[in-house]
Structure 1
Amino acid sequence: MKVARFYAPGDIRIEEAPEPVPGPEEIKIRVHNTSTCGTDLKIFRHGHHHIDPPRVIGHEIAGEIVEVGAEVSGWAPGDRVQVIAAIPCGECAECLRGYQTICPNQLSMGYHFDGGFAEYMIVPRNVLKVDGLNRIPDNVGYAEASVAEPLACVLNGQNFAGVEEGDVVVVVGAGPIGCLHVRLARAKGAGAVYLVDLNRGRLDMAADLVKPDAAICASEVDSVEQVLALTEGRGADLIITAAAAGKTQEDALRMAARRGRISFFGGLPKDNPIIACDSNLVHYRELTIYGANGSSPAHNKQALELIATGAVPVSDLITHRLPLDGVLEAIDIVSSGDAIKVTIEPGLS
């Protein structure tokens, strides 16, 4: 079979490999779609401390079961499934409290286990143990199901920070995550959603699809001033920073309404994680800052349901479909910002 393996920063190789054989507590799937994300770009450029190369990467996975281990029950060949990316242990103090997204023993597909940039892959027992293999609803395609993983992360962030009926929500970052945030905020009853990005082309492309109430190009205008003008000086109830830039987090503090909430959804570069926080804004306006880290198995199930019911459409966000040979091209497209969502389909020629 064909796989895309990461060897070192800048070195991903399309190779031939033996088809994997599932152990008694594992499942083998034929991969139909694995979508790409900014994390794949980061791995390509910088590697990752949890990846011991060579490793098949790719963690937004949907496929079809072809073989079930002898000790696995409840699954059969032909079942259509989506695989979680972040795998909690299910046993630590945080997991037992229901905080699976911050499990200190978390493992990940495409990091600790071979991922979805392959024709076939193994779903390990760690995933099955925490109910992390999900049936794809009949009306959802494999490509759409692969987007359930990033939507699950978005769902975690918004559930934690809370979107209330009528809220003014600002989403900073017009990539696929930002687009999903806009659509989920609308599904949760936001009164207005504003989308902010530095890149005019990416902002226009995203805005054409997700139709925010305002699209603000931060390289052309002061985004804080624009949000304050749009809200008659009040500010936004919730600001979601879906961009890996410290300035977006600093600006979020300045555009928040009294009792506003801020979700630091996008992590910052590890060599530059410190921002300037005006503590008096937090103090006098009674602001709340939330983190957001990945998703749980339950979030993935909820995300599939949101896609299946049409509450959060995703099919139009998939702007590029490429064969497995096109993984490097897909990463280039992600890097360019010329796409919303790029998916890899091993069955394409």
Structure 2
Amino acid sequence: MRAAKIYGTKDIRVEETAIPPLEAGKVLVKVDYAGICGSDMHEFVAGTFPIRTQPVLGHEFSGTVVEVGEGVTTVEPGDQVAVEPLIACGHCSNCRRGMANLCSNSGGYGYSISGGFAEYAVVKEENAFKLPAEMDVKLGALVEPTAVAVHAVRQSTLRLGDTAAIFGAGPIGLLLLQAVKAAGASEIIVVEVSDDRREKALELGATHVLNPVEVDAVARIKELTDGGVDVAFDAAGVQATFLSGVSAVRKGGEFKVVSLWEQPVTFSPNSFVKTEAKITGSYAYANLFPEVIRLLAGGIIDGNKVITSLIPLSDIVEKGFETLANDRKQCKILVDMHLS
């Protein structure tokens, strides 16, 4: 089969490789769609993560079951599935607390095991979630990033009627926007430099969009919300958004960091000590795929509005990674395995 492998910074190659062997309790999936994630971009631009132990990328993917191993009962050939990439040990203290996303011994498809930027993937039965018949399999590739957004909102202090700000309107930012809206936020302010992404945010329900190059975003947020939002989410991961996010929350509010970072930030602790604001992180998700599938299948979160391009696997570098690095009009690019 063909697969996209990463060998280092800006070194991704589509090569022939063996289909992983099918074992008991596992499922052979013919990949239909796979999304390029912000964390994939981090590896492309800044180098591979320490957790990577094999080169085949891709952890946001969906496909069709073609064969099942001995003992598999929950899916069968012909089923369309979304694959949860996280593989938790189930035994460490965090797993026992229900925090599989923080597993001390975790692995994952696309990192420690061959991933979804390939024609086929072999996954554990429990990692293959059957999609409803009426759901486009394309949206199955958005279950993983949508779960990231839903988990962040669920973990936050946001309550019905609260105000929220989202810094960054890339894929996670736009999914956060929809999750925040579904959770009942009364005002949603999106801060984004790209004109196209601000327009998309308005289309998806933002009450205000701000270009931080043209206006003082923090001052405007405080003006719109009488002193600051209840919860601000960072989906950009740069120094400027961190400083703005901390400053944009009301006294006693929360700044939730969802993005991954290539560089450390510098800030004064006084920015939250004097306001008793909370700075919290959100990482991945835990036990959320069924709920997220329902949100996408029912259109409560519109995954189609986040997808901007479908590309063949052969063009994953030029039309995928390089395009995302240089074109702010792009949002979620999916590798479509049906394209040649």
TM range (shorter): over 0.9
Choose which of 267, 285, 294 in structure 2 pairs with 1:305: 294
Partner of 1:117: 117
Q: Is the 8 A contact 1:31 1:64 kept in 2?
A: yes
Alignment partners' CA distance in 1, 2:44 and 2:265: 24
Q: Is contact 2:238-2:265 (8 Å) kept?
A: no
Instruction: Give the equivalent residue in structure 2 for 1:221.
Output: 215
Counterpart Cα distance in 2 of 1:39 and 1:303: 20
Aligned to 2:15: 15
**Structure 1 residue 284 displacement after superposition:** 4.4
Question: RMSD in angstroms over aligned alpha carbons?
Answer: 1.7
Alpha-carbon distance in 2 for matches of 1:211, 1:274: 30
Q: CA shift at 1:194, angstroms?
A: 0.6
State yes or no: 1:293 paired with 2:286: no
Once the two structures are TM-superposed, the CA of residue 73 in structure 1 deviates from its matched residue by: 2.7
The answer to whether the 8 Å contact 2:181/2:205 transfers is no
Aligned residue in 2 for 1:83: 83
* Residue 239 (structure 1) aligned with residue 229 (structure 2): no
Q: Deviations over 1:67-96 (max 9, x none)?
A: 111132322111111111222211111111
Matched, 1:348 2:339: yes
Tell me how far apart the structure 1 counterparts of residues 321 and 199 of structure 2 sit (CA, whole Å): 18
* 1:259 and 2:249 are equivalent in the alignment: no
Q: Secondary structure at the match of 2:159?
A: coil
CA distance in 1, matches of 2:172, 2:275: 28
Q: Distance in 1 between matches of 2:137 and 2:170?
A: 21
AA of the residue aligned to 2:200: A
Check whether the contact 2:39–2:260 (CA below 8 A) recurs between aligned residues: no
Q: Tell me by how many angstroms 1:250 deviates.
A: 2.0
| Deviations 1:306-338, CA, capped at 9 Å, x for gaps | 111221111121110111112112112221222
Q: 1:324 aligns with which of 303, 313, 316?
A: 313
CA shift, 1:348, in A, is: 1.3
Q: Which segments of structure 1 move beyond 4 Å, counting only runs of 4 or more? A: none
Q: Give the length in aligned residue pairs.
A: 337
Matched to 1:344, the amino acid is V
Which residue of 1 is the match for residue 266 of structure 2?
A: 275
1:169: which partner in 2?
A: 164
Structure 2: segments with no counterpart, 5+ residues: none
Assess if the C-alpha contact under 8 Å between 1:186 and 1:193 holds in 2: yes
2:212 & 2:84 partners in 1: Cα distance?
34
Aligned equivalents of 2:8 and 2:122: distance in 1?
Answer: 23
User: What's 1:67 paired with?
Assistant: 67
Q: Report the 3-state secondary structure (helix = DSSP H, G, I; strand = E; otherwise coil) of the residue aligned with 2:305.
A: helix
Show the counterpart of 1:250. Answer: 243
- TM-superposed CA distance for 1:202, in Å, is 4.3
Residue in 1 that maps onto 2:31: 31
TM-score normalised over the length of structure 1: 0.92
CA distance in 1, matches of 2:335, 2:297: 21
Matched letter for residue 229 of structure 1:
E
Measured at CA, do residues 268 and 5 of structure 1 come closer, stay the same or move farther in structure 2, by a change above 3 Å? closer
CA distance in 2, matches of 1:347, 1:200: 31
